């Protein structure tokens, strides 16, 4: 019986330590960066996150609705907007293009925008943008991650088995 308890405790800690299969992609959000090259070189899957870091009084992150808004740098009615200096976005749908731009005058037109397409099945996403769907990903400057939620769930299940 004691061996079973030890195994349960070990499984509990293994569950806590298992990392999320989701990947966080850091984005240094500033002028003078070729974001098309940045996104073309990445495989981004549904569930992955983008973490934009930037100087809050100079820049912001606006999630745009459509490719047309992205192409014309129309940031007047973004889906979401944040200017905290650290913006985390969860890309929750496969085969979807998400559009982001800075609304500071001249920044988007100067290239401070990025289109990121999530892969369909874990393969390379490519860069052909599609229309943004109605399901909106989370745009936050803080919050709990899927890893934390899964870890706590596994710990609770493991402890329930031990007791």
CA 66 → CA 72, 91, 132, 143, distances in Å? 10, 15, 5, 26
How many domains, the chain?
Answer: 2
Looking at the structure, do residues 16 and 79 belong to the same domain, yes or no? no
Rounded to the nearest 10 degrees, the angle between the axes of helix 146-162 and helix 2-17 is 170
Looking at the structure, do residues 13 and 42 belong to the same domain, yes or no? no
Looking at the structure, do residues 132 and 150 belong to the same domain, yes or no? no
pLDDT tens profile 108-160: 999 999 999 999 864 444 443 333 333 344 555 544 444 445 554 555 555 55
Q: State mean pLDDT over 57-63.
A: 97
Question: Helix (H, G, I), strand (E, B), or coil: what is residue 162?
Answer: helix
Looking at the structure, do residues 111 and 60 belong to the same domain, yes or no? yes
Host domain of residue 14: 1-20+145-163
The model's pTM: 0.66
Return mean pLDDT, the chain: 77
CATH number at residue 81: 2.60.40.420
- CA–CA gap between residue 145 and residue 60 (Å, rounded): 22
Looking at the structure, do residues 16 and 55 belong to the same domain, yes or no? no
Looking at the structure, do residues 126 and 50 belong to the same domain, yes or no? yes
**Residue 131 confidence (pLDDT):** 31
- CA–CA gap between residue 111 and residue 34 (Å, rounded): 7
What is the band of 4 on the pLDDT scale with cuts at 50, 70, 90?
Answer: low
């Amino acid at each position: 019986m004691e061996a079973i308890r030890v195994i349960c405790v070990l499984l509990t800690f293994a569950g806590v330590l298992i990392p999320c299969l989701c990947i966080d992609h850091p984005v240094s959000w500033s002028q003078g960066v070729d974001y098309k090259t940045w996104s073309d070189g990445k495989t981004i899957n549904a569930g992955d996150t983008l973490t934009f870091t930037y100087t809050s009084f100079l820049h912001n992150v606006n999630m745009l609705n459509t490719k047309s808004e992205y192409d014309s740098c129309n940031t007047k009615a973004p889906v979401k907007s944040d200017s905290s200096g650290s913006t985390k976005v969860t890309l929750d749908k496969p085969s979807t293009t998400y559009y982001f731009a800075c609304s500071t005058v001249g920044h988007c037109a100067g290239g401070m925008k990025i289109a990121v397409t999530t892969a369909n099945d874990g393969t390379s996403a490519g860069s052909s943008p599609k229309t943004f769907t109605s399901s909106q990903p989370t745009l936050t400057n803080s919050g709990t991650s899927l890893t934390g939620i899964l870890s706590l769930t596994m710990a609770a299940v493991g402890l329930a088995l031990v007791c």
